[in-house]
């Protein structure tokens, strides 16, 4: 690749964030074949030159944003790279540990809560299979919530969805009420 100004700027930033030895080793181990070399060239020119050099956030904050986004989305190889960058930018291991612990309350706890809700729904289905159908009048909170959700009017122009998330057919009178384009 012909080295453009953006590429040179990105390569300088990449070396500043990761260190010369790491970049050289990474280039030899990971980006030696033509396909992966094209990939890192594009990343160097776009991500490192365009995003990492923007004004508004310092490099230390940008590395923390990357650590949090990698941890939240389960991007383990990138997390290792961004943890290295964060340490080089001045974050301590204790601070990064605290960030990940704090993140667990906003990434982990909602997932666990959602799974617990699915478990409750599955228990209701098992109970229904064992004892027969339950009506909304018999006090089952899951059934009452489902009935409220299905009976609620959606915002105008949106697709109706049942409590299980599947799209319901639009009513004919809704279509008749809409003005023609």
DSSP string covering 59-106, please? HHHHHHHHHHHHHHHT-HHHHHHHHHHHHHTT--HHHHHHHHHHHHHH
* Helix H or strand E segment including 127: helix 93-131
The pLDDT, as a whole number, for residue 23 is 93
Q: Residue 158 and residue 163: Cα distance in Å, rounded?
A: 15
- The per-residue pLDDT for range 9-30, each reduced to its tens digit, is 999 999 999 999 999 999 998 8
The pLDDT, as a whole number, for residue 87 is 94
Q: What's the average model confidence in pLDDT over 79-94? A: 93
Percent of the chain with pLDDT over 70: 61
Around Cβ 163, how many Cβ atoms within 10 Å? 16
**How confident is residue 107, by pLDDT bands cut at 50, 70 and 90?**
confident
Around Cβ 16, how many Cβ atoms within 10 Å? 16
**How confident is residue 111, by pLDDT bands cut at 50, 70 and 90?**
confident
**Among 97, 41, 45, which residue's Cα sits nearest to residue 67?**
97
Q: Which residue would you say has higher pLDDT here, 59 or 122? A: 59
Q: Residue 79 and residue 85: Cα distance in Å, rounded?
A: 10
**How confident is residue 44, by pLDDT bands cut at 50, 70 and 90?**
very high
The pLDDT, as a whole number, for residue 88 is 94
- The per-residue pLDDT for range 153-167, each reduced to its tens digit, is 445 544 544 444 444
Q: What's the average model confidence in pLDDT over 122-137? A: 57
Which residues is 161 bridged to in the sheet?
167
């Amino acid at each position: 690749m012909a080295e453009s100004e953006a590429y040179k700027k990105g390569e300088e930033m990449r070396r500043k964030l990761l260190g010369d030895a790491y970049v050289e080793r990474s280039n030899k181990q990971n980006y030696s074949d033509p396909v992966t070399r094209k990939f890192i060239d594009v990343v160097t020119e776009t991500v490192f030159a365009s995003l990492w050099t923007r004004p508004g956030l310092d490099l230390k904050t940008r590395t923390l944003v990357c650590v949090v986004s990698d941890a939240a989305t389960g991007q383990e190889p990138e997390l290792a790279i961004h943890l290295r960058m964060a340490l080089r930018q001045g974050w301590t291991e204790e601070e990064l540990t605290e960030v990940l612990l704090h993140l667990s309350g906003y990434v982990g706890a909602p997932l666990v809560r959602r799974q617990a809700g699915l478990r409750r729904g599955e228990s209701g289905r098992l109970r229904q299979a064992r004892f027969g159908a339950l009506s909304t009048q018999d006090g089952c909170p899951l059934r009452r919530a489902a009935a409220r959700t299905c009976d609620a009017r959606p915002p105008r122009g949106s697709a109706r969805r049942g409590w299980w998330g599947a799209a319901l057919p639009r009513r004919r009178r809704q279509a008749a009420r809409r003005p023609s384009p």
